[in-house]
């Protein structure tokens, strides 16, 4: 959220535009609702208060993969998501927001004092499709590399944020999977997806 911290509904009222994909699938109103839901999921968990979930619309009840990324004062504070469409989108946002706040092993669990300053970005994923290395478009495609029990995923915005070229993107996705950097040349499965990315005003693009 912006400083001084407004309430979650105020911060979510100006979501960032889509960063990836051909066109916006989600309306401004749907984006606001999903961002509010993510904030409420975290705050209710920290306050140990119940949060009843009601289906907001048929569109937001479609099963989708989604990643919820948390930022605090411009720095990554957690990121958890579902690669596959195993839950209705609104439920997936609710669950991944809570998990990003408390279960990302790279960070200590979020505190109630941090919640009002939190900025959230959502990445709603398309279905996975096979792709060749030559077809990868930086800024458009996210990657999943898998081999046996190993699987690594990087969102489309990651290589843009780090200034990676296609080769580095492939290598870093292999690294994320715990595989050799050239696993994509050694029989690992390479798949791509696009994502519609939007977030609170001020969240890193």
- Domain segments of the chain as ranges: 8-18+27-126, 129-193
Say if CB 174 and CB 144 are below 8 A apart.
Answer: no
Q: Tokens at residue 40, please?
A: 């409420």
CATH class of 129-193: alpha beta
Q: Give 8-18+27-126's CATH code, choosing from 1.10.1380.10, 3.40.50.1220, 3.30.470.30, 3.30.700.20.
A: 3.30.700.20
Say if CB 68 and CB 38 are below 8 A apart.
Answer: yes
**In whole angstroms, what separates CA 198 from the centre of its chain?**
9
Q: What is the pLDDT of residues 27-70, one digit of tens each?
A: 999 999 999 999 999 999 999 988 778 888 999 999 999 999 99
Decide which of 103 and 2 is more confident.
103
pLDDT-derived band of residue 101, with 50, 70 and 90 as boundaries?
very high
Assess whether pLDDT exceeds 80 at residue 74: yes
Assess whether pLDDT exceeds 80 at residue 204: no
Assess whether pLDDT exceeds 90 at residue 19: no
pTM equals 0.78
Assess whether pLDDT exceeds 50 at residue 8: no
Q: What is the pLDDT of residues 147-203, one digit of tens each?
A: 999 999 999 989 998 999 999 999 999 999 999 999 999 999 999 999 999 999 877
- If you average pLDDT over every residue of the chain, what do you get? 87
> Measured between alpha carbons, how far apart are the two ends of the chain, in Å?
14
Of 111, 120, 2, give the one whose Cα is nearest residue 68: 120
Q: Which one of 9-13, 49-53, 78-82 scores highest in mean pLDDT?
A: 78-82
pLDDT at 205: 61
Evaluate whether 8-18+27-126 and 129-193 have a shared fold: no
Q: What is the pLDDT of residues 118-138, one digit of tens each?
A: 999 999 999 999 999 999 999
For residue 11, the surrounding DSSP H or E stretch is: helix 8-11
**Strand 118-125 with 65-72, pairing:** antiparallel
Residue whose pair of structure tokens reads 């605090």 in the numeric block: 72
* Cα–Cα distances in angstroms (integers) from residue 21 to residues 8, 69, 86, 109, in the given order: 27, 18, 21, 32
């Amino acid at each position: 959220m912006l400083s001084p911290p407004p309430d979650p509904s105020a911060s979510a009222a100006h979501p960032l535009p889509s960063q990836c994909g051909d066109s916006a699938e989600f309306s401004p109103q749907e984006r606001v609702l999903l961002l509010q839901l993510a904030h409420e999921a975290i705050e209710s968990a920290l306050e140990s208060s119940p949060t009843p979930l009601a289906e907001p619309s048929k569109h937001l009840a479609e099963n989708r993969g989604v990643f919820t990324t948390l930022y605090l004062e411009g720095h990554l504070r957690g990121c958890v998501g579902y690669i596959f469409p195993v839950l209705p989108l609104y439920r997936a946002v609710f669950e991944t927001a809570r998990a990003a706040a408390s279960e990302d092993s790279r960070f200590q669990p979020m505190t109630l004092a941090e919640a009002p300053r939190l900025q959230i970005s959502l990445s709603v994923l398309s279905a996975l499709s096979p792709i060749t290395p030559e077809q990868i478009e930086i800024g458009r495609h996210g990657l999943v590399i898998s081999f046996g029990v190993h699987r690594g995923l990087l969102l489309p915005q990651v290589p843009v944020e780090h200034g990676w070229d296609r080769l580095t993107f492939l290598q870093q996705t292999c690294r994320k999977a715990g595989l050799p950097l050239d696993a994509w040349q050694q029989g690992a499965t390479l798949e791509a997806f696009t994502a519609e990315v939007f977030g609170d005003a001020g969240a890193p693009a």
